[in-house]
Amino acid sequence: MVRAGVALTAETIGNSASGLTGCAALAYSTILNDMDTSSEEYRHQCEVRYYLVKRHKEGREAVVKAVELTGKKRGEAAAKRLMQDIVHQWSLGNRGEHKDWRED
């Protein structure tokens, strides 16, 4: 696969030169590493990383507004879980980098 003239290989995944970040980089990496991309855990972690990048680039308020919309679409429980994990991962120093998921 090629995106923006850069071949997607194990070496370029997650590399800023590839132009892929967050879920896109993780999805291509997952294909290369035979990880299960259909699990709820994978989807949730990918979404959290997306919002960590958004917070880093656009600020906390942009994330709060986006998660509020999630609450309207998927319910309060989903929004609460999402925000808790965003806050927790941020406090551990995670800024949404490829494959980054931190444990206490």
Task: Compute the distance between CA of residue 39 and CA of residue 56 in angstroms, rounded to an integer.
Answer: 26
| Nearest Cα to Cα of residue 32 among 7, 55, 5, 51 | 7
Tokens 């998660």 belong to: 67
Task: Compute the distance between CA of residue 80 and CA of residue 68 in angstroms, rounded to an integer.
Answer: 9
Residue 16 pLDDT class (50, 70, 90 cuts): very low
Please tell me which residue, 29 or 46, carries the higher pLDDT value: 46
pLDDT of amino acid 19: 56
| pLDDT, mean over the chain | 80
pLDDT tens-place string over residues 42-68: 999 999 999 999 999 999 999 999 999
Task: Compute the distance between CA of residue 67 and CA of residue 80 in angstroms, rounded to an integer.
Answer: 8
Can you spell out the DSSP letters for 81-95?
HHHHHHHHHHHTT--
- Which residues fall within 8 angstroms of residue 98, CB to CB, at 6 or more apart? 13, 14, 21, 22, 25, 26, 29
pLDDT at 20 over 50: yes
* pTM of structure: 0.67
